[in-house]
């Protein structure tokens, strides 16, 4: 049985490897990631994971794994930090506040069975000074990331509270992912 990772995220690949398995293929799923009108963050994260899994071709002996991580403030879906200006705005919104990191996971088994899970992790940032925000933006690690930060890097020093899946904030909740892969028949410990 072969695993197909429907993601080109280096973080997701690293996280899958932490489960003691290596994908036979890594495929970039081509989907429209724009939120739908009035779509709630939980629904959005799970929908994207499902769409990504269905967007890649699967042979009869393959298991497809896809995920999506969304950062939300209340009912608002925060965009990825595609520019330094967006990142500054996002970090300003997260400063001193709690937010949700929602990680949707979808696994399609060889028999076509679709299984999903959603990990909801609450993260609280300390109040950030302008110097801290500028210094973090200058290091470059949060650019392109959901919410504008990478918890596995320097931004971890901003986290005063986390409740949930640390790996989910990074991009793939390992507890949930392991359970789904095992249910699909992948022999992992």
**Pairing, β 62-73 against β 76-78:** antiparallel
Residue 66's closest CA among 146, 4, 6, 2? 6
Which three-class secondary structure state does DSSP give residue 166?
helix
Task: Report, as residue numbers or ranges, the catalytic residues.
Answer: 68
Q: In degrees, to the nearest 5, what angle opens at C-alpha 83 toward C-alphas 27 and 173? A: 45
**Are the C-beta atoms of 45 and 69 separated by less than 8 Å?**
yes
Residues forming beta bridges with residue 5, ordered by sequence position: 26, 65
Could you give the CA distance from residue 19 to residue 3 in angstroms, rounded to a whole number?
Answer: 12
Question: What number of CA atoms fall less than 13 Å from residue 64's CA on the CB side?
Answer: 24
């Amino acid at each position: 049985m072969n695993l197909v990772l429907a993601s080109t995220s280096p973080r997701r690949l690293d996280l899958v490897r932490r489960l003691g398995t290596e994908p036979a293929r890594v495929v970039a799923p081509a989907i429209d990631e724009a939120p739908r009108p009035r779509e709630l963050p939980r629904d959005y994260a799970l929908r994207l994971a499902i769409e990504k899994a269905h967007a890649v071709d699967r042979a009869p002996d393959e298991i497809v794994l896809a995920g999506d991580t969304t950062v939300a403030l209340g009912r608002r879906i925060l965009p990825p930090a595609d520019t330094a200006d967006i990142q500054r705005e996002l970090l300003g919104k997260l400063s001193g506040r709690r937010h949700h990191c929602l990680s949707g996971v979808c696994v399609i088994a060889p028999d076509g069975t679709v299984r999903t899970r959603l990990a909801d992790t609450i993260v609280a940032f300390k109040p950030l000074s302008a110097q801290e925000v500028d210094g973090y933006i200058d290091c470059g690690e949060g650019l392109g990331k959901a919410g504008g930060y990478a918890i596995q890097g320097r931004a971890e020093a901003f986290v005063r509270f986390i409740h949930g899946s640390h790996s989910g904030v990074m991009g793939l909740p390992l507890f949930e992912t392991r359970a789904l892969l095992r249910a699909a028949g992948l022999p992992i410990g």
